[in-house]
Structure 1
Amino acid sequence: MARIERGHCFCGAVMAVMEGEPFWICFDHDDDCRRATGGPMTIWIGYRPHQVELTAGKPKTFSKTKGVIRSFCADCGTSIFYADEGLRDELYVSIGFMDAPERFPPQAQAYWDMHLPFINMADGLPRVDGYTRRRDPALGNPRER
Structure 2
Amino acid sequence: MIGIERGHCFCGAVKAEFSGEPFWICFDHDDDCRRAIGSPMTIWIGYRPDQCRWSGAAPKRFSKTRGVVRSFCSECGTSIGYSDEGLPNEFYVSIGFMDAPEKFPPQAQAYWEMRLPFIIMDDGLPRVDGYSRTRDAALGNPRDR
- TM bucket, shorter chain: over 0.9
CA distances 1:48-93 after superposition (whole Å, capped 9, x unpaired): 0000010111110100000000000011110001100000000000
TM-score by length of 2: 0.99
Q: CA RMSD in A?
A: 0.4
2-structure distance, mates of 1:27, 1:56: 28
Alignment-derived partner of residue 88 in structure 1? 88
Aligned partner letter, 2:129 = D
Aligned partner letter, 2:40 = P
Aligned partner letter, 1:62 = F
Alignment-derived partner of residue 39 in structure 2? 39
The secondary structure found in structure 1 opposite 2:26 is: strand
Structure 1 residue ranges, 4+ long, deviating more than 2 angstroms after superposition: none
Alignment-derived partner of residue 117 in structure 2? 117
1-structure distance, mates of 2:95, 2:32: 16
Does 1:17 find its partner at 2:22?
no
2-structure distance, mates of 1:144, 1:61: 23
- 5 Å matches for 1:43-54? 43-54=43-54
2-structure distance, mates of 1:29, 1:8: 23
CA distances 1:87-123 after superposition (whole Å, capped 9, x unpaired): 0000000000000000000000000000001010110
The secondary structure found in structure 2 opposite 1:34 is: helix
Does 1:69 find its partner at 2:84?
no
User: How many aligned positions are there?
Assistant: 145
2-structure distance, mates of 1:34, 1:15: 23
Alignment-derived partner of residue 7 in structure 2? 7
Question: Percent identity over the alignment?
Answer: 76
- 5 Å matches for 1:50-61? 50-61=50-61
Ranges in structure 1 where 5+ consecutive residues have no aligned partner: none
The secondary structure found in structure 1 opposite 2:138 is: helix
Aligned partner letter, 2:138 = A
